[in-house]
Amino acid sequence: MFSIPGKQAVTMTDKAAAQIAKLMGKDGHKGLRIGVKKGGCAGMEYTMEYVDDVDPHDEVVEQDGARVMIAPMAQMFLFGTQIDYEVGLLESGFKFNNPNVTEACGCGESIKFDEDLAAK
């Protein structure tokens, strides 16, 4: 795990925590697992899925009734990320403020990480 004692792997804004807790309660899910996968025009994409069972290898972050699990392969890419939830005129959704991202595509769906981080 890529944790630092006393510091959570990711943080959530109040809006993100409220939305995640709402989604968890809707169908009785245990939380939301976030990760990354290869794809998109910049090379990587975030993934999000409902979780009904907590994997013992996941990094678990809980805040105000919200539970986020970080997939093991994604932990080094997501460490230090702030998860936000934005509501706009045309769309609403989660936004990842990730200090590890070196580039992002124009649509905001695809990201690129430092080559040294990706090689670890």
Cα–Cα distance between 82 and 80 in angstroms, integer? Answer: 7
Note the CATH architecture for domain 10-115.
Sandwich (2.60)
Q: Where are the beta strands (DSSP E) in the chain?
A: 10-12, 31-38, 44-51, 59-63, 66-70, 81-87, 92-97, 101-104, 110-113
Question: What pTM, to 2 d.p., does this model score?
Answer: 0.80
Q: What is the pLDDT of residues 47-88, one digit of tens each?
A: 999 999 889 999 999 999 999 999 888 888 888 899 999 998
38 Cβ contact list (under 8 Å, min separation 6): 44, 45
